[in-house]
Amino acid sequence: MANITMADTAPSCDTYLFINGETLLPNGVRAFLYTVVLAYCFIGLSAITGRFFKSMESIMKHSREVVTIDPHTNATIIKHEKVWNYTIADIALLAFGTSFPQISLATIDAIRNLGQLTAGGLGPGTLVGSAAFDLFPIHAVCVVMPRAGSKKKISDLGVWLVELFWSFWAYIWLYIILEVWTPRVITLWEALLTVLQYGLLLIHAYAQDKRWPYVSIPLARGERPEDWVPAEDALVDYDGIGEALPGQTEDIVDIFSVHSYSNAGYHHIPEKDVEESSASLTVKSNKQEDMHWLSIWWEQFVDAITLESSESRKMDSVCLRFGGIFWNLIITPWKLLFAFVPPYEIAHGWIAFICSLIFISGIAYGVTKLTDQISCVTGVSPYVIAFTALAAGTSWPDLVASKIAAERQITADSAIANITCSNSVNIYVGIGVPWLVDTMYNFFVYQKPLYIDNAAGLSFSLLVFFATSFGCITVLVLRRVILGAELGGPRLWAWATSVYFMILWVVFVVLSSLRISGVI
């Protein structure tokens, strides 16, 4: 008897994605082709993550001029202070930005379902699966990122505990509105309260960072870097473009902080020299600024079509060189497309940041269409695809962000904060906003709430997530108590922890899949 695959036994799928001739192909072939295109979309997400990350760093480095008067000498003191609070930047920029693929996918799914009384399962499934991917595989990667023997710990345990509380509460809240208050129904007020809790998270985290009385945990804060990214690592390349920051090797005068800095560090300079340097630099920068930006922008397109860098030409291994050329050839379309993102030096990185999010939204839309087709030709539930393949693929920016933070920062705050905050953002914004859109439409048009068809499966996944996440957090706490740090340490223990986190993720995926499939 011939082997029969799931794709061959799936119902006939008459819809097509690209051309009408697709429907003439066997379901198995179509499933394979759609999966390849889906993987290529995930490669695109990885490529745009590099541009997004650079723009975010530029935003977080933005400073403002603060003028004060010395009470003893009456001298004017000019300081250079960061615009973004360290903790708020982690939540509002890092976590929100890296979760934007999931948020976009869920919102697009909700808009497509407008006019239906039931919610689509693609968005919630992706976001719950993404939470598991963030907590387990990303922790597994981060714990082995520090160099052999080095340790990185959370410097501000108070802020992390606040973020951890809101992360777990997000999933408790989701279970309450799905199974307790209004079982399998989401009302307008429940959706609105879900979104508003993101604001409460920001306020509470800021209060903890500033140690406001009565609302903060009385825990001392350890040392943490002044900058989100250490200056000595500014040349690290994320997306293969390798752009250096302007003036990286020059001695530059910072007219705001009354300091001159170079690779050797900061040193004080006289105020008169600052004024003269300020005037000359202002005139010079005004003349060269536009040409500088255009030059960098043009270089992005040149780099996009460059298949082999000067460093790779020096390699002795022909196989490695060929592999690099082949990979660059594969991603050239993405690099050319993303070269249209303006340089991150413009407007402190905001234009590049917004453009990156727009591209991420476009890829997310393509992912939703591909998922529909894969589900159609294979018969696999969209929910199963959502919390496995889609969750892993759309969480790639989270993985890249936490990995880079674990490598480059002297503490573990941002690496772990991105994980816990991303989980909160997934619920409060990623699920809250799409449900708010659907509930508002149903309330004003039909005077009906939003019904959740797969509420039982979603609730079961939440229970499994609670159990496995408790095991994850317990190990992090034990590492802090025994080894003195959450990340790094002896290589054997670091890799053992990493494998343990991956096992927890496999347990979550298997149990949730079996539940959705009706096996358990």
Q: What is the pLDDT of residues 139-167, one digit of tens each?
A: 999 999 888 778 888 888 888 899 889 99
Q: Does residue 181 sit in helix, strand or coil?
A: coil
The predicted-structure confidence for 292-306, as pLDDT tens digits, reads as follows 778 888 888 888 888
> Over the stretch 66-91, which tens digit does the pLDDT of each residue have?
777 877 887 887 777 777 877 888 78
In a domain, 438, yes or no: yes
CATH assignment at residue 396: 1.20.1420.30
Closest to 401 in 3D by CA, of 386, 389, 413: 413
Instruction: Please report whether residue 185 resides in a domain.
Output: yes
Q: Does residue 306 fall inside a structural domain?
A: yes
Please state, in angstroms and rounded to a whole number, the distance separating the CA atoms of residues 26 and 451: 35
Per-residue pLDDT at 262 exceeds 80 = no
Q: Which pLDDT value is given to residue 192?
A: 95
Mention every residue, 6+ apart, whose C-beta is less than 8 A from residue 469: 135, 168
Report pTM.
Answer: 0.73
Helix (H) or strand (E) holding 253: strand 252-254
User: Whose CA is closest to 107, among 123, 93, 91?
Assistant: 123
- Per-residue confidence at 328, pLDDT binned at 50, 70, 90? confident
Q: Which residue has the higher pLDDT, 261 or 374?
A: 374
Residue range(s) defining the domain that contains residue 488: 25-219+299-517
- pLDDT digit string, tens, across residues 387-446: 777 778 778 777 877 887 788 778 888 788 778 888 888 889 988 999 999 999 999 998
Measured CA to CA, the distance from residue 316 to residue 159 in angstroms comes to 49
- Looking at the structure of the chain, the number of domains it has is 1
- How confident is the model at residue 281, as a pLDDT? 43
Q: What is the pLDDT of residues 176-193, one digit of tens each?
A: 998 888 888 899 999 999
Average pLDDT over residues 99-124: 80
Give bridge partners of residue 487 from the DSSP assignment. 152
Q: Would you state the torsion angle of the CA atoms of residues 37, 42, 45, 50, taken in this order, to the nearest 10 degrees? A: -120
CA distance 129 to 117: 24
> Is 236 within the bounds of a domain?
no
Q: Is residue 388, in this structure, part of any structural domain at all?
A: yes
Residues 216-253 have pLDDT tens digits of 888 877 666 555 454 444 434 444 433 333 333 332 22
Residue 275 lies in a domain: no
Whether 92 has a pLDDT exceeding 50, the answer reads yes
User: Percent of the chain having pLDDT more than 70?
Assistant: 82
Q: Considering only CA atoms, which of 511, 386, 370 is closest in space to residue 126? A: 386
Asked if residue 243 is part of any domain, the answer here is no
**Measuring CA to CA, which residue among 105, 193, 164, 215 is closest to residue 424?**
164
pLDDT score for 121:
66
- What pLDDT shows up at residue 343? 87
pLDDT at residue 6, as a whole number: 45
Enumerate the H helices of 210-304 as residue ranges.
271-304
Q: Which residues of 419-454 are buried (b: 16+ CB within 10 A; e: fewer)?
A: bbbbbbbbbbbbbbbbbbbbbebbbeeeeebbebeb
> Which of the four pLDDT bands, split at 50, 70 and 90, describes residue 307?
confident
* pLDDT at 10 exceeding the cut of 80: no
Backbone phi and psi for residue 453, each to the nearest 5 degrees, phi listed first: -65, -40
- Is 245 part of any domain? no
Q: Which residue has the higher pLDDT, 202 or 221?
A: 202
Q: Is residue 355 within 8 Å of residue 58, measured between CB atoms?
A: no
Round to whole Å and give the CA distance between 28 and 13.
Answer: 12
Quote the mean pLDDT of the chain.
78
Residue 36: other Cβ atoms inside 10 A: 11
